[in-house]
Amino acid sequence: MSHLQFLDAAPRFLFFTGKGGVGKTSLACACAITLAGAGTRVLLVSTDPASNVGQVFGLSIGNTITDVPAVPGLSALEIDPEQAAAAYRERIIAPVRGLLPDAELATITEQLSGSCTTEIASFNEFTTLLTDDDAALAGFDHVLFDTAPTGHTIRLLQLPGSWTEFLDDGKGDPSCLGPLSGLEKQRSMYAGAVAALADAARTRLVLVARAQRSTLAEIARTHAELAAIGLTTQHVVINGVLPRPDVDDPVAHAIYDREQRAIAELPRELQALPVDYIDLKPTNIVGLGALATLLHPTSTDQQLDEPAPAADVDAAPLSALIDELEPRGHGLIMCMGKGGVGKTTVAAAIAVALAGRGHQVHLTTTDPAAHLTHTLTGHLDNLTVSRIDPAEATEQYRRRVLATKGAHLDEQGRATLAEDLRSPCTEEVAVFQAFSRVINQSRRTFVVVDTAPTGHTLLLLDATGSYHREIARQMGEQTSFTTPMMRLQNPDETKVLLVTLAETTPRLEAEGLQQDLQRAGITPWAWVINNSLAAAHPTSPLLARRAAAELDEIAAITTTHDRVAVIPMLPAEPVGISALENLAASTPHVPTPIHL
């Protein structure tokens, strides 16, 4: 194995974070195996609401510490948000069950069913691990955290300080439907979590990226935001770097040149940090055999043992889906999926195409880590671009509540209300309201939404569902009303596109998301397979092998779903209006491969 600086004298806590799809889970798993192989006891923890750590190891893990039989010394834990929330609700409700009327218990249960409760419950699990509050953790030398995509991770790591400050200064009647019961007694644990995060001897942050401008810019922002809250011991890992091609393949050389330019232009704030590089592998990193190869250099093209089978896949243009979306002239179009699959790019391409056809289009994102302006890099008539920024939405919500509900309060009442609105849970309400306003716009124009990665999106939909149930309860069966959830459930008003890659993990996660949506009464309209190597027809042995590995994944989608687009891997990142127009064209331009 080549020398990797981020594993040198590894501290007790290692956090792996970065934009979705960069390989955090695979890297965290491979590092856990390496540390366990060195004779230490390791606990691998996933804090991602859409965790797939169990899938990587081929076993069911869940919300309890589980040994990995194939790796002596390694255990794993997935902080399941729903299980954590259910246990949290039960701890609050159990003492009063049998003492309160059933109707009152039902109201309390409903108040504890929002995404704010889920966040607090998951957070409590997380802080327990950081503070060694559980005797079961005493035997572990290292605790590795495979975190949610960047925006969610920053939120999680900021929470210990947010809750500590709220308990010290804010206290009062919370504005987030009542899930804060019992937080006061957690004060010492939260303070301990803050201390652990800020202690360089105990905690190291590993910023994971690909050799792409967007993911490198993302970890540069993460670096600054987390350094500001005390996490200063940081390392950079650039994962999946294509080795220099040894054959004359335009696709391979285009990718290699693009990656090398991104590495050469590493953001200034990252240049002072230790940087490690991990090569792209010929196969997906699933299973112990593949994980064992991740931290080792990749063989050159000539050293691959066998030629890859032909991967003959035709692109299915995104334009065909846009042709179906256009006739109604308005509606909500939501791009959903695992982080890193290209939701932002696909959403921007659809918006640009519809605007180019003369329609008024509002393109927005609910992803805390998304940057649509970077993807567009230009102005287009008929297109409005926005972002539901949690901090901005929360501040606007606070000002609005103080101006309305606070207008008739005395000075002490306004002060109490202001303290209540400082609760971190206020963000849930604020973001939901901003999302609802966007949904309402789709009645008269096209609204294209680039959603946050899967787990975060489900939390937002959970808040939408909670609001719907509360309105339905208040209004009764005899009253006509329409909630945001009802618009999402109406296939005439909302089209959900599941964006994925032709790889096992993103496909399985998209299928899981589809099942979650269907349980909520929302049926996905189409699937988009993005960045397909098979559709780009590379001839480099390494890329050809990865292309061949896509065939089964593409077939699993196209044989199950009627409406599918397959977008080929393009030689340049689709950034800018013209590149997005090309992506949405009937035949996106791909260089013709030279067969040797």
Any idea which residues carry the catalytic annotation?
A: 21, 23-26, 48, 505
Enter the tokens of residue 16: 């792996």
Q: Which amino acid is at 131?
A: T
Look-up: residue for tokens 């998951």? 122
Helices 115-130 and 454-475 cross at an angle (nearest 10°) of 140
Q: Could you tell me which of 489, 486, 488, 500 has the C-alpha nearest to residue 454? A: 500
User: Which positions ≥6 away from 319 have C-beta within 8 Å?
Assistant: 353, 584, 585, 586
* CA 366/CA 120 separation, integer angstroms: 20
Cα–Cα distance, 149 to 341 (Å, whole number):
12
Residues 6+ apart with CB under 8 A from 7: 31, 34, 35
Residues 455, 456, 459: CA angle, nearest 5 degrees: 90
Tokens at 30, concatenated: 């491979």
- Residue pair 325/441 in contact (Cβ under 8 Å)? The answer is no
Give the Cα separation of 495 and 478 in Å (integer): 29
Q: Say which residues have a Cβ less than 8 Å from residue 28's Cβ, sequence separation at least 6.
A: 14, 16, 44, 53, 144, 145, 146
DSSP-derived letter for residue 212 is S
Question: Alpha-carbon distance 18 to 280, whole Å?
Answer: 17
Tokens of 540: 């480099």
For residue 44, give the nearest of 67, 17, 10, 23 by alpha carbon.
Answer: 67
